[in-house]
Amino acid sequence: MKEEIYEASLDPAIKQKMKQLASVVKGDGKAKMTFYDTLDESFEGKRARLKAPVFPMERLWNLLGGAYDIHQHSGPSPHTERLFDEIDLAIHGCYMGLAGIVFKEQYMPSIRSVRLVQKVVDQWTAEHNKKKIELFGGVCLNYAVGGLNPDAVIASYRLGGKYVWLPNVDANHHRKVVGHGVGMGIDMIDKDDKPVPKAKEILELMAETDMVLGVGHQSTRERLMITREAVALGVQRIEINHVNYPLSWLTPEQCKTFADLGAYIGIYAIDETFYTWDDIMAIYKAVGPERIVLGSDRGHPALGHPIDGMKRLIIGFLQSGVPDEHIKLMCQTNAYNLLH
């Protein structure tokens, strides 16, 4: 039990990663590559002086085509600058052959705009002879939508919302780690480790509507207790978001615990400055490809294009010798099953 609730995000080394993240987001730091910059040596060994680097790009395109970006940030946003709006990002994804994108906005429901964007992009695909792309949205339960607000969940569902993300920037754990508004955020469980009444009501709605529960910026204890309760109440679709993000870091063993409960483990590209590829492979080995989904978690100007993030994840697995069929599970099949 001790290992299950170990709070990695409060480990001094992980907290240092959060400081680096704040620096990059503010534009004060420079992102470093941890695996992508050495791809030219991965398949050919140490290259000869006159030998051009070789990378099996066809394998990359075959995997990227048909992939789902399970977590993407678009503009406009009241929170921060974004690289592109949903129309731009959806067309970019369609051009690259993505099968689907889940758009997350932290302060407003994304599903209303996603429905309109789907119509625009469907027309674009018809005009340019491209395959259609599926677009998904939902609602994130921060204070801007009333926090743990069942009415916000119902409204999103009625419009076709697929995801309900638990509070992120307004979660008490998030505020504790970043040191802003400590004690003024939202808790999911009480002192007895039981879901607070509104949280339980929302979990019951999740079971009734068959939406996807996105669990992310809570403490490890909260995430574990909420996931167990969700499973007990009959929630079928659960994703543990960005387990390789410093604020919500989980150990490989903890990831396995959540996967064994039936949740999918979300590995996100975000920024490679904050994790190593060894971290990713440790999760892959502990969980197995059957319970992992991939997302970019990009859209902020400092972090690069979401498509690039998805490519980097796929290339990282290719470099590490992961079979193509395993990568296909993680970037295509699992996400499809989670969303349909």
8 Å CB contact between 311 and 276: no
Non-local (6+) Cβ contacts of 155 within 8 A are 109, 139
Report if residue 324 sits inside a domain.
yes
The pLDDT score that the predictor gives to residue 161 is: 98
HEC assignment per residue over 140-188: ECCHHHCCCCHHHHHHHHHCCCCEEECCCCCEHHHHHHHCCCCCCCECC
How crowded is residue 253: how many other Cβ atoms within 10 Å of its Cβ? 14
Report if residue 44 sits inside a domain.
no
Say how many domains are in the chain: 1
The pLDDT score that the predictor gives to residue 39 is: 44
CA atoms within 13 A on the CB side of 107: 8
Report if residue 48 sits inside a domain.
no
The pLDDT score that the predictor gives to residue 83 is: 87
The pLDDT score that the predictor gives to residue 5 is: 81
| pTM, entire model | 0.88
The pLDDT score that the predictor gives to residue 33 is: 39
Q: Beta-strand (E) ranges in 180-286?
A: 212-215, 237-240, 264-268
pLDDT, one tens digit for every residue, the chain (340 residues): 567 788 888 887 777 766 665 555 444 444 443 444 444 444 445 555 666 667 778 999 999 999 999 999 998 888 888 989 999 999 999 999 999 999 999 999 999 999 999 999 999 999 999 999 999 999 999 999 999 999 999 999 999 999 999 999 999 999 999 888 888 999 999 999 999 999 999 999 999 999 999 999 999 999 999 999 999 999 999 999 999 999 999 999 999 999 999 999 999 999 888 899 999 999 999 999 999 999 999 998 888 899 999 999 999 999 999 999 999 999 999 999 999 9
The pLDDT score that the predictor gives to residue 106 is: 92
Report if residue 178 sits inside a domain.
yes
Report if residue 228 sits inside a domain.
yes
Report if residue 145 sits inside a domain.
yes
Report if residue 124 sits inside a domain.
yes
The domain in which residue 155 lies consists of 2-26+33-38+56-339
Query: What CA–CA distance (Å, rounded) separates 221 from 316?
Result: 30
Report if residue 240 sits inside a domain.
yes
Cross-strand pairs, 120: none
The pLDDT score that the predictor gives to residue 272 is: 84
| CATH label of the domain that carries residue 271 | 3.20.20.140
The backbone torsions φ and ψ at residue 6, rounded to the nearest 5 degrees and listed phi first, read -55, 130
